[in-house]
A and B are shown apart, each in its own frame.
Chain A
Amino acid sequence: MTSRSPIHPRTFVQVIVAFGVVLVTAALIAQLRAAKPHETPAFLVEGAEDADDPGAEIVSCERTLPGADEDASGDGSAEPTLLGRVTSSRVLECPEAFDGHLVTYIGEVIGDVLHRDDGAWVLMNDDDYALEVGPLASHGEFRGYNSGLSVWLDGDLPDLVTHPGGPDWRGDVLQVEGIIHRVDPRDGGGLTIRATDAQVLAEAVPLSHPVNRPQAIAAGLLSAAAVALVVFERAAARRR
């Protein structure tokens, strides 16, 4: 910055033009996103759609919970009583209150079924994408983050899962019955449900991914332009 030269008025014009180009590009990009087609199959899971409805009788920690069932005889023969249906968000709010309780939990099996010797670990989500509206890519309706709990499916229960959820599937929705472990020693201290009973509420659904044609065309054109520019630059550099 030795000799200073004032900024030429032409530069300001160039800056304004550049801003204009940015605005037009941004508007086009927003249009391309809006052009994304959606094909929404029925994802609503019967019996699991009312997670926020007071009538659904989801157990929350505002309610005074009874103490976890004690095995008075100490021989493991005591039958724990079912507390009711819980959701992941309410359990995570106050895990202490639910520790050791037998509960019902409904969720979509996600990702992988991690088979071990006498059962399998699964992640079961009970967010809106799992139980109400289906995977986001199918409808474009934003419903927040995923939310779920780790569930141990004992014995043959993992066989109920035909396909876990992922980019191409809304996975099987299971209703499990099991005991909540605030700190599960067999999972290195994680919060888990150890399910002893399960049933399939909704089977896995493959997702259709209709192509966003305007976006695909724009991508093709811009990619060709970018490649052409790079080739042109290389050729010009070689000539120099």
Chain B
Amino acid sequence: MILRPDVRDLRVIASSLGRVVAGVGALMVLPAAVAAGHHEWDAMSALLLSGALAVLTGRLATLLLPSRRPATWTHGMVTIGLSWLVAPVFAGLPLFLAGHADGFLDGYFEALSGLTTTGLTLVQDLDHLAVSLNLWRHLLQFVGGQSIVIVILTMFTTTSGHGGSLSLGDIRDNRITPNVSRTGRFILTVAAAFAATGVTALTIAGIAAGLGPGRALTHAGALFLTAYDTGGFSLQSTSASYYHSGAVEAIVIVLMIAGALSYGIHFELWRGNRRELLRNIETRTMGLTFLALLTVTFVGLGRSGAFTDVGPMFRQGLFTLVSAHTTSGLTLSDPRLIVTDWGLLAPAAMVAAMSVGGMASSSAGGIKAIRVGLMLKGIFQEVRRVLLPESAVVLATYHQHRRQVLRDVHIRGAATVLLLFLFTFLVGGLITLFTIPDVDFTEALFESTAAASNTGMSVGILEPSAPAVLKVVYALQMWFGRLEFMAVFALLGYAFAFVRGRT
């Protein structure tokens, strides 16, 4: 029997949601300070107004709807599902007020894209956008990226029988501390370490590339936020190709890979256990899919006729594939060239890489390497079962921090999420075909996959003049992909219980 939630349940959710909204509002003080430093007074007032509105809304929700009831797992999941929908309402306001988003929907989309670390953009005239607003876009990626890691490591992996097969509960990173605050502290420590080294290295590389010291530092900070959180926004409209610098590209590649690594792996490396990197099913799967897709990319680029020299082909192919596989979405050339000049094989490899995505417990999107790895293990197990005598007991194992037995529930969960992702890619592609004239299915599927896998490598279909329905569909895809369907289903289930449940 499904029970209808009552007012006390709604209070618990509203109270938690209020804290999230107030937190997003308080964060706007940072870009507002940058705006003051750059004398960007309109941007500053837009940020302060939006931030104050968020703080007032959030705190009033907590004050007027107090709740002493402890939050349950369901409350938590519903709050998570709603947080990624409600926070962009306030986070997108500064861009709307500053007049760089053509309507509220575009501002909302931009903020959602940042918070889901997708990187699809609807901001217009980005190259003349105020520095503070541009940094706000990048900061959203960091907040969204690090938050989803904490959510995955706490809510998604603490099933207590609630998660069913969609959850990562049975394949959780056991080695990360079970305490939420300690986990959060560890995550921020790792991020701070990468920030310190990454920003320093990028600043030096930026100066060598011809940027002034101040500009180099600004670009380095933005590049770190976008690469480490696998986001995809950029300060300039030409993404990473703006710098014409192999050193910048190399550092960004390292940061993108670091961002797509599971925090479980970071934890092992932190402890000096380097062998885990070679034995872990996720690193092995990512390594395998990456090498396979890199080969396909090189073959495709070679056949396309665009590249006659190996050097440029290697540089473009490697960077773009790393970006697609880690779901970062940064590019070394205009992404339109991927479909107009790279033939068919290389774009197909990019779609496959975006679909697989990074590792669980990271800010990367996509199906995730752990699920693909488990599926592959499951297939090999079935093949062995067919080949061996009927009486043979076929046991498959995988390594994730320790040797673990592969169970049917793992394969079922992985297969379910994989199918849900493929269904989302396909539906998004079909809707794109129906809403945009003169688009072929390859391009439509590319764009849809870029949205649902939180990659954001747009081939130019999504633009400010696109129909609102397409923007809403891509926004939903970003949301589904970011929350890996589980929080979305929890939210939908809750809504169903609210309507049809029994009191």
Contact = CB atoms under 8 A, between A and B. Distances in A.
B211 interface: yes
A189 B237 contact: no
B438 interface: no
A76 to B, nearest CB: 18
Contact of A137 (B49, B99, B209, B465): B99
Interface string A153-178: 00000000000011100100000000
Interface in A176-212: 182-185, 187-191, 207, 209, 211-212
Nearest to B122: A145
Interface string A117-136: 00011010101010000011
A85 to B, nearest CB: 19
Interface in A144-158: 144-148, 150
A9 to B, nearest CB: 12
A189 B334 contact: no
Nearest to A1: B3
Give the size range of B's interface with the partner: 35 or more
A129 B126 CA distance: 10
Interface stretch (A48-56, A63-71, A219-227): A219-227
B59 interface: yes
Given A5-B7, A144-B464, A219-B52, A96 B306 contact: yes
Contacts of A226: 25, 51-52, 55-56, 59
B463 A145 contact: yes
B127 A125 contact: yes
A112 B210 contact: yes
Contacts of A145: 124, 126, 237, 463-464
A5 B8 CA distance: 9
A74 interface: no
A181 B210 CA distance: 22
Interface residues of A, number: 72
Contacts of A182: 306, 341
Contacts of A223: 48-49, 51-52
Say what secondary structure dominates the interface of chain B: helix
Given A142-B464, A145-B464, A225-B56, A96 B130 contact: no
B53 A188 contact: no
B49 A222 contact: yes
Given A32-B97, A219-B48, A223-B48, A188 B124 contact: no
Contacts of A121: 210, 244
Interface string B109-150: 000000000000000111111110000000000000000000
Contact of A129 (B102, B125, B238): B125
Contacts of A240: none
B308 interface: yes
A222 B334 CA distance: 42
B277 interface: no
Contacts of B333: 189-191
Contacts of B9: 1
Given A4-B503, A7-B6, A190-B333, A215 B46 contact: yes
Contacts of A110: 127, 236-237
B398 interface: no
B6 A123 contact: no
Interface in A71-95: 92-95
Interface centre among A129, A137, A211, by most B CB within 10 Å? A137
B90 to A, nearest CB: 11
B332 interface: yes
A150 B464 contact: no
Most buried by B among A7, A113, A226: A226
B242 A146 contact: no
B42 A209 contact: yes
A96 B305 contact: yes
Given A4-B503, A226-B55, A188 B311 contact: yes
Given A145-B237, A189-B333, A135 B125 contact: yes
A95 B63 contact: no
B55 A230 contact: yes
Contact of A144 (B25, B59, B93, B465): B465
Nearest to B75: A1
Contact of A211 (B41, B55, B212): B41
Contacts of B464: 142, 144-145
Contacts of A25: 53
A116 interface: yes
Contacts of A95: 306, 337, 340-341
Contact of A222 (B53, B242, B244, B503): B53
B49 A219 contact: yes
B128 A165 contact: yes
B49 A190 contact: no
A217 B305 CA distance: 59
Given A125-B237, A220-B45, 17 more contacts: A6-B6, A29-B93, A95-B341, A112-B212, A112-B215, A114-B244, A129-B128, A136-B128, A148-B238, A150-B238, A183-B306, A185-B312, A189-B307, A189-B332, A211-B45, A223-B49, A230-B55
20 contacts: A6-B503, A96-B306, A112-B210, A114-B211, A116-B210, A129-B127, A137-B98, A142-B124, A144-B463, A145-B237, A165-B127, A167-B40, A167-B129, A183-B316, A187-B244, A189-B333, A190-B244, A191-B334, A229-B59, A233-B59
Across the A-B interface, the 3 shortest Cβ-Cβ residue pairs: A189-B312, A114-B210, A222-B52
